[in-house]
Amino acid sequence: MVGEVVDRLYRTRNASDAELKLLIGLEDPSLLREAALSRRLEWYGRKVFIRGLIEFTNHCRNNCYYCGIRAGNVSLGRYRLAPETIMELVRDGYRLGFRTFVLQGGEDNGYSDEGICSIVSSIKKEYPDCAVTLSIGEKDHGSYRAYFDAGADRYLLRHETASQEHYSSLHPSRMSLENRKACLWDLKRIGYQVGSGFMVGSPGQTPDNLVEDLRFLQELQPDMIGIGPFVPAANTPFATKKAGSVDTTLNLISILRLMFPYSLIPSTTSLGTIAPAGLEKGLEAGANVIMPELTPPDEARLYSLYDNKPVSAGALMITDGSLRERIRAIGYDIVTARGDVAVPKRP
Ligand code: SAH
Binding site membership of 270 for ligand 1 (Cβ less than 6 Å): yes
End-to-end CA distance of the chain: 22
Residue 313 has pLDDT above 90, yes or no: no
Q: What angle do CA 280, 159, 78 make, to 5 degrees?
A: 80
Dmax of the chain from CA atoms?
A: 57
* 141-183 pLDDT, tens digit each: 999 999 999 999 999 999 999 999 999 999 999 999 999 999 9
Looking at residue 37, what is its pLDDT? Answer: 98
Residue 344 has pLDDT above 70, yes or no: no
The residue among 187, 105, 101 whose CA lies nearest residue 142 is 187
Percent of the chain's residues with pLDDT above 70: 98
Alpha helix ranges (H) inside 243-344: 246-259, 269-274, 278-285, 297-302, 313-319, 322-329
Burial class (CB in 10 A: 0-12, 13-18, 19+), 242: exposed
pLDDT bin (cut points 50, 70, 90) of residue 312 is low
* 88-119 pLDDT, tens digit each: 999 999 999 999 999 999 999 999 999 999 99
Virtual torsion, Cα 241, 224, 276, 258, nearest 10 deg: 100
Residue 336 has pLDDT above 60, yes or no: yes
> Cα–Cα distances in Å, from 22 out to 33, 178, 251, 347?
14, 29, 10, 23
Q: How many other CB atoms sit within 10 Å of the CB of residue 321?
A: 10
> Which residues are registered as beta bridge partners of 201?
none
Binding site membership of 55 for ligand 1 (Cβ less than 6 Å): no
d(CA 90, CA 124): 11
SS3 state at 63: coil
pLDDT bin (cut points 50, 70, 90) of residue 347 is very low
> Cα–Cα distances in Å, from 171 out to 70, 136, 203?
11, 17, 12
Binding site membership of 66 for ligand 1 (Cβ less than 6 Å): yes
Looking at residue 316, what is its pLDDT? Answer: 76
d(CA 230, CA 243): 5
Residues 57, 81 contacting (CB under 8 angstroms):
yes
Nearest atom in ligand 1 to the alpha carbon of residue 198 is: 15
Binding site membership of 291 for ligand 1 (Cβ less than 6 Å): no
Binding site membership of 170 for ligand 1 (Cβ less than 6 Å): no
Which of 170, 199, 295 has the most ligand 1 atoms within 8 A of CB, as the residue to mutate? 199
d(CA 59, CA 80): 7
d(CA 181, CA 88): 34
Task: State the DSSP H helix or E strand holding residue 336, giving kind and residue range, or none if neither.
Answer: none
Range 337-343 average pLDDT: 92
In this structure, of 131-135, 160-164, 269-273, 303-307, the range with the lowest mean pLDDT score is 269-273
Nearest atom in ligand 1 to the alpha carbon of residue 306 is: 22
Q: What angle do CA 24, 260, 345 make, to 5 degrees?
A: 155
d(CA 311, CA 294): 9
Range 335-339 average pLDDT: 96
d(CA 159, CA 153): 19
d(CA 200, CA 228): 6
Range 63-70 average pLDDT: 98
In this structure, of 54-63, 174-183, 202-211, 301-310, the range with the lowest mean pLDDT score is 301-310
Binding site membership of 228 for ligand 1 (Cβ less than 6 Å): yes
Virtual torsion, Cα 317, 135, 193, 323, nearest 10 deg: 10
For atom 10 of ligand 1, the residue with the nearest CA is 158
Looking at residue 345, what is its pLDDT? Answer: 55
